[in-house]
Amino acid sequence: MSYFFTSESVSEGHPDKVADQISDALIDNFLAFDPNSKVACETLVTTGQVVLAGEVKSNTYLDVQKIARDVINKIGYTKSEYMFDGNSCGVFSAIHEQSDDINRGVDRDSKEEQGAGDQGMMFGYATSETKNYMPLALDLSHLILKELADLRRENKDITYLRPDAKSQVTIEYSDNNIPERIEAIVVSTQHDDFAEDEEMLAKIRKDIVEILIPRVKAKLSPEVQALFNGDIKYHINPTGKFVIGGPHGDTGLTGRKIIVDTYGGKGAHGGGAFSGKDPSKVDRSAAYATRHIAKNLVAAGVASEILVQVSYAIGVVEPMGIFVDTYGTSKVGLTDGEIAKKVTEIFDMRPAAIESRLKLRSPMYSETAAYGHMGRENEVVSKTFSQPNGETKTVDVELFTWEKLDYLDKVKKAFGL
């Protein structure tokens, strides 16, 4: 019997994502000037106020207030009527030095023997249902909000948009787990107060369905475009008016959108957030590494769908174990346990090895903090960073290294594919 599956996304202007982007901007700036920085930065945003807290061990000094304000302005919170804007909000910093008790479990005389920065389990997932090996409902949810943000910045076809927004897509799957059609699309977007409520809601609904959705469809493959049909249920700003939003409408905190950040409810999640953490924190680095493994395994033809789990003890170099679940889709005549054993032979999962393999000590994290950490495009960009003394540094940074299919040959050889 067919079934429905739903995933959601939130925009860069959602208060939790504002917090994530500030935390990751701090990470990037620390790593740009001191790649060995140890950072765990949390951010809270609310009406007219930003609070920064956390632990840092670094040889560089930053103007954290300016970094936070630049992020807020870039997102689009630049007007006083939003009750939260980058130029006038208060920024309070309670960042202090990292505990020696934590650091002693991580740093070693030999870099290769670096211990895990925390205990816990991390999951990576991949599926063949999309070209980027991501669940389709989440992929579409992200794309809807990226296009909505582009429309907001263009300020041409739709001129009343504000930064905060959410989306949700429900897809009907066949018994064979194949997407058959889109059942429902939900879009809630913050907006200016430009008309009477009923007239305003009608205008927003018309623009979303007739302007936004066609732009989204135009970026999709013919196979996915075919899933859009006249029977889709659209819920556009279903509560009605959405003028009050962003950090004024709802307090935002780092790390509260971990399912949006990963697989939209598919696979599994170990519970650890990513943003604001340097790569010695395996919550982040091992989650990227397991995605890298899962994607390369699916792309190589080991299975159509794969979940990979790894677990660590704080301060311990080797992982506690690696688990693989192929959901019965294995194509190599091996049990999931046998596949997991081969994974341990192909991929070095020591924390230092992960950092080196995925180049995680470069300032690559700001781009991850909105629209998902997984399924993104691997590319090289040039980024410039500044210190309070006027020193600037421009570096070329490779983004989303865990999305590379650079282990295909090794995987195929190991599995005889």
Is 412 known to sit in a ligand binding site?
no
Is 305 known to sit in a ligand binding site?
no
Is 269 known to sit in a ligand binding site?
no
Per-residue pLDDT of the chain (417 residues; tens, 9 = 90+): 799 999 999 999 999 999 999 999 999 999 999 999 999 999 999 999 999 999 999 999 999 999 999 999 999 999 999 999 999 999 999 999 876 655 555 655 556 667 777 788 999 999 999 999 999 999 999 999 999 999 999 999 999 999 999 999 999 999 999 999 999 999 999 999 999 999 999 999 999 999 999 999 999 999 999 999 889 999 999 999 999 999 999 999 999 999 999 999 999 999 999 999 999 999 999 999 999 999 999 999 999 999 999 999 988 889 999 999 999 999 999 999 999 999 999 999 999 999 999 999 999 999 999 999 999 999 999 999 999 998 999 999 999 999 999 999 999 999 999
Is 357 known to sit in a ligand binding site?
no
Cα separations in angstroms, 216 against 39, 141, 143, 148 = 37, 10, 7, 9
**Signed CA dihedral, 259, 373, 189, 210: sign only:** negative
The DSSP-derived string for 236-290 is ESTTS---S-HHHHS-EETT--HHHHTTTTSS---S---TTB-TTSHHHHHHHHH
CATH numbers and ranges of domains, the chain: 3-8+135-244 (3.30.300.10), 120-128+279-415 (3.30.300.10)
Contact 176, 103 (CB under 8 A): no
Is 281 known to sit in a ligand binding site?
yes
Is 257 known to sit in a ligand binding site?
yes
Is 273 known to sit in a ligand binding site?
yes
Is 19 known to sit in a ligand binding site?
no
Chain centre to alpha carbon of residue 162 = 21
Closest CA to 54 of 40, 36, 68: 40
Residue 235's CB: how many other CB atoms inside 10 A?
13
- Rounded Cα distance, 412 and 302, in Å: 8
- Rounded Cα distance, 194 and 202, in Å: 12
Is 210 known to sit in a ligand binding site?
no
- Rounded Cα distance, 126 and 116, in Å: 24
Closest CA to 345 of 322, 378, 372: 322
Contact 387, 151 (CB under 8 A): no
Is 21 known to sit in a ligand binding site?
no
